Structure 1
Amino acid sequence: MYYTNEAHTIDTDQNACRHEIELKERTAMETALITEYRAGVVECLHSGHIAVVDDTGALAAWAGDPSHLAFTRSSAKPLQLIPSIMAGVHTHYGLTEQELAVMVSSHRGEPEHQAVLAALMMKLGVEEERLVCAPSYPLDRRSRDQLLLNGAGMRRLYHNCSGKHLGMLASCSLQQFPMEGYEDPSHPLQQQVLNSMASMSGLTVEQISVGIDGCGLPVFALPLQSLAAAYVKLACPDLISDPGMKAAVQVITSAMTRHPYMVGGRNRLDTLLMEDDNIIAKGGFKGIFCFGLKKERLGIVLKVLDGSEEEWAWITESILEQLGSGSRPMLEKLRQTYTRKLLNDGGQQVGHVETVFTLQR
């Protein structure tokens, strides 16, 4: 018994050393993306990685390490809906495009979102208590404050992932899968999702690491380049060989681009980008943001390593400029909405932001 414990200790120490070496190697490959200045002094430096993939699946441009392993978080939501659409959820329940868009959303719980979600829940016949996402208040401050003024409590429906959960429960009902435990990675619906993730990203299921997301559902870790490959297919469904999957992606992305407000909300980057029908976009928690360009046939993923999303718009604007993509109106809208001036609480400019990366080809 003593020798077994000693061996285990040695193995543990070796694993720790190996992980430390891997972390140092990965950190060495990161690149500075954004620098924030206050009074001419660097106050913050945000580093990370970028991967740009073309319609052949090849790496077209990058910054840092395009093979960096990252969790998809909510950027996977359009991919997670594919099996449910392939099963016919949208036709069986007569779903509107707004209802489909909220199923892939990280909504802010604004009144428009609340109305669509309530109608969707009633149409699906799903009890709110079945959702495994935790009761919460809306992420949108105005909406939350109004609910508090009215004396309303937290609800699962206000959780920013509630649309995804409603869609999965509806799919379970339609496919006669158990609704209990729908969040378990071994559940048949989650296995369908994992297979869709693998197919869209060009990986095998064994190459995808599975964890648990903040809302309780499975979340996937894969190389940025592979996630970008999936976003090329979202932007260009003609690249998908499976007819059922191709049709499902067309349904999902059409709903997203026709109703971008449902996907995010007021002043959200993915919503703003999809006001241009050339772009399909979805952000995720902890600094990951993905978008696909239809005309250019490119998939782009960026990861801010400190987990911040405040820098997404500046990085995205620079990526579009460096690639020679993005319409002039869209670039101008990005500049106006996400100013590079840093303002204090009184609106006084106290600093500025600079993008400091150059895409490699």
Structure 2
Amino acid sequence: MESVLVKEYRAGIMECAHHGHISIVNDQGEVTGSAGDPHFVTFTRSAAKPLQAICAIRGGIVSHYGLSEKEIAIMTASHMAEQEHVEVLESIMKKTGLSEAELVCAPSYPLNEESKEDVLRHDGSKRRLYHNCSGKHLGVLAYCKMKGYPLEGYAEPGHPVQKEIIETVSLMCGIKAEQIDLGTDGCGFPVFALPLSAMAAAYVKLACPDLINDEAVREAVQIITRAMNRYPEMVGGSGRIDSLILQDTNIVAKGGFKGVYCFGLKQERLGIAFKVLDGSEEEWGWIVESILEQIGYSNQTLIQQLKESFSHDILNDAGKKVGHADTVFQLQTVQP
């Protein structure tokens, strides 16, 4: 049964209640904490991007194309097409010889409002490069080109690169590939239906790659997560929680559309995954803040930054406080 995670109040009256599930997994893959159902099955959405990047990095695209750490980081991103994002994406295309037309993700406007307004003031054209998943697509296409895989159909489940990806996701999550149900993500890629506990288990391994027996995968994870921590602005963008908490080098984190969020803690050797059932993302900052406080996380500076960046005050269109939000869940200790 789901747990109430967040309640929102206006004029002292509860207006909204956001239900969901939280799963906390240790470095043995055991659930040690939860709210709601720690094994609730949902789609990974973009929280899978660091996992989807592993095949290309393991395969050697970094040295083959001379990629920078910023270029690696944006392959895990749900970027906002801010100017620096676009510059890095264009650099990848130049190094790899890929064209924007080869991307299957839809032409889009930037998610960043300032960047979108700048586009509209100029030519007003949507671009596939502006799509928040374009870095992931370029990374996979670059790998296909290097391996001699066909570029056409690279997003289809039966394509060789997608078969490699699902095997890697299987390895990281500890679930057999044939047991992972697939859907289609917004960008056209296969998306994985997994228990939250399996997502959390994968994020333990992202945070603690010594848990990965496969040496090539382990080295790829180290390259990917180092890039994410060194260039957190590439992973999200202005005002995004990913870019804030990745500044803490003890954390590996990535959110996905429709309310799914995952992060791993290196020193604590924990993976955490949660799902807001109504698909909302506005509550992520509050939920992460509460989880960190409840487990006694030592970086109080980060917790304070979360409080300041994701205020519990509810404001109206003119910026006046008209209500507040409270996180109301209590993590339950689970005996492995």
TM-score normalised to the size of structure 2?
0.98
Residue in structure 2 matched with residue 241 of structure 1 by the alignment: 213
CA distance in 1, matches of 2:208, 2:254: 15
Deviation at residue 91 of structure 1 after TM alignment: 1.0
CA RMSD of aligned residues (A): 0.6
CA distance in 1, matches of 2:100, 2:314: 41
Q: CA deviation at 1:152?
A: 3.2
Instruction: Give, in whole Å, the separation in 1 of the partners of 2:317 and 2:185.
Output: 33
- Superposed displacement of residue 151, structure 1: 2.1
Choose which of 237, 247, 256 in structure 2 pairs with 1:275.
Answer: 247
Amino acid at match of 1:308: S
Give, in whole Å, the separation in 2 of the partners of 1:164 and 1:306.
26
Is 1:169 the counterpart of 2:144 in the alignment?
Answer: no
2:112 alignment counterpart:
140
Q: Which amino acid is the alignment partner of residue 161 of structure 1?
A: C
Q: Deviations over 1:172-208 (max 9, x none)?
A: 0111111110011010000000000000000001221
How many angstroms does 1:292 deviate by?
Answer: 0.4
- Which of the numbers 305, 314, 317 marks the counterpart of 1:342? 314
Alignment of 1:88-107 (within 5 A): 88-107=60-79
| Residue 286 (structure 2) pairs with residue 314 (structure 1) | yes
Aligned match of 1:324? 296
Tell me the distance in 1 between the aligned counterparts of 2:115 and 2:101: 22
Q: Which amino acid aligns with 2:227?
A: A
SS of 1:113's equivalent? Answer: helix
**Alpha carbons of structure 1 residues 326 and 189: separation in structure 2 relative to 1, 3 Å:** farther
Partner of 2:95: 123
Once the two structures are superposed, residues 80-129 of structure 1 have per-residue CA deviations (whole angstroms, 9 ceiling, x without a partner) of 01111111011100100000001110000001101111111111100110
Return structure 1 stretches of 4+ with deviation > 4 angstroms: none
**Per-residue Cα deviation, 1:192-241 (whole angstroms, up to 9, x for no partner):** 00000000000001221111100001100000000100000000000000
Structure 1 portions without partners, runs of 5+: 1-28
Residue 8 of structure 1 is matched in structure 2 by none
Once the two structures are superposed, residues 305-349 of structure 1 have per-residue CA deviations (whole angstroms, 9 ceiling, x without a partner) of 000000001000000011111401000100011110111111111
The Cα shift of 1:251 comes to: 0.4
Q: Which residue of 2 aligns with 1:219?
A: 191
2-structure distance, mates of 1:162, 1:78: 14
Greater CA drift, 150-159 or 236-245 = 150-159
Give 1 or 2 for the bigger CA radius of gyration.
1
Query: For 2:216, what is the secondary structure of its paired residue?
Result: helix
Secondary structure at the residue paired with 1:227?
helix
Report the identity percentage. 56
The one-letter code matched in structure 1 to 2:116 is R
One-letter identity of the residue aligned with 1:132: V
Structure 1 or 2: larger helix share? 1
What is the count of residue pairs matched by the alignment? 333
Aligned to 1:80: 52
SS at match of 1:319: helix
Residue of structure 2 equivalent to 1:203: 175
SS at match of 2:125: coil
